[in-house]
Amino acid sequence: MKTAELYVNKRYVIGDISPMMYSSFIEHLGRAVYTGIYQPGHPAADADGFRTDTADAIRDLRVPMIRYPGGNFVSCYDWKDGIGPKEQRPRRLEYAWSSIETNQFGIDEFCRWARKTGVEPMIAVNLGTGSILDAGHLVEYCNHPSGTYWSDLRAKNGSPEPYRVKYWCLGNEMEGSWQAGHLSAEDYTKKALEAAKIMRWVDPDIKLIACGSSYEMLPTYLEWDRIMLDQLLNQVDYLSTHSYTMNAGQGTTNFLAAYKALDTHIKNTRRVIDYVKARKNSDKELGICLDEWNVWNFQDIELKSLDDLLSLTTFKITSAGRWEVAPPILQEKYSLLDALTVGGLAISLLKNADSVKIACLAQLVNVIAPITTAPDGGILRQATYYPFRTVSELGHGAVLDTRVTAPTYACQFGETPIVEPVAVLNDETGELNVFVLNCDPDSDVRLTLTGEETYRLARHQALYGNDLTAINTFSQPDRVTMRELPVDGGLAATLPRMSWSALTYRKA
Q: Are residues 73 and 198 in the same domain?
A: yes
Q: Are residues 101 and 44 in the same domain?
A: yes
Domain boundary among 348, 375, 394: 394
Q: Are residues 122 and 267 in the same domain?
A: yes
**Domain count along the chain:** 2
Element (H, E) at 398: strand 398-400
Q: Rounded to whole angstroms, how far apart are CA atoms 82 and 78? A: 8
Q: What's the Cα-to-Cα distance from 337 to each of 44, 297, 417, rounded to whole Å?
A: 32, 12, 19
Domain boundary among 353, 369, 394: 394
Bridge partners (DSSP) of residue 288 are: 239, 356
Domain boundary among 394, 426, 461: 394
71: preceding bond cis by omega (within 30 degrees): yes
Q: Are residues 44 and 191 in the same domain?
A: yes
Cα torsion 349, 353, 359, 365: sign: positive
The pTM is what? Answer: 0.95
Q: Are residues 161 and 308 in the same domain?
A: yes
Q: Are residues 33 and 134 in the same domain?
A: yes
Q: Rounded to whole angstroms, how far apart are CA atoms 70 and 126? A: 9
pLDDT (tens, 9 = 90+) of the chain, 508 residues, equals 999 999 999 999 999 999 999 999 999 999 999 999 999 999 999 999 999 999 999 999 999 999 999 999 999 999 999 999 999 999 999 999 999 999 999 999 999 999 999 999 999 999 999 999 999 999 999 999 999 999 999 999 999 999 999 999 999 999 999 999 999 999 999 999 999 999 999 999 999 999 999 889 899 999 999 999 999 999 999 999 999 999 988 899 999 999 999 999 999 999 999 999 999 999 999 999 999 999 999 888 777 666 766 666 777 788 888 999 999 999 999 999 999 999 999 999 999 999 999 999 999 999 999 999 999 999 999 999 999 999 999 999 999 999 999 999 999 999 999 999 999 999 999 999 999 999 999 999 999 999 877 899 999 999 999 999 999 999 999 999 999 999 988 889 999 999 999 999 998 8
Q: Are residues 224 and 274 in the same domain?
A: yes
Q: Are residues 179 and 56 in the same domain?
A: yes
| pLDDT tens digits along 68-100 | 999 999 999 999 999 999 999 999 999 999 999
Q: Are residues 135 and 181 in the same domain?
A: yes
Q: Are residues 368 and 418 in the same domain?
A: no
Residues annotated as catalytic (active site), given as ranges: 173, 292
CATH code for the domain in which residue 313 is found:
3.20.20.80
Q: Are residues 328 and 451 in the same domain?
A: no
Q: What's the Cα-to-Cα distance from 118 to each of 59, 108, 325, rounded to whole Å?
A: 7, 15, 28
Bridge partners (DSSP) of residue 4 are: 447
Q: Which domain holds residue 335?
A: 18-394
Question: Which one-letter amino acid corresponds to residue 8?
Answer: V
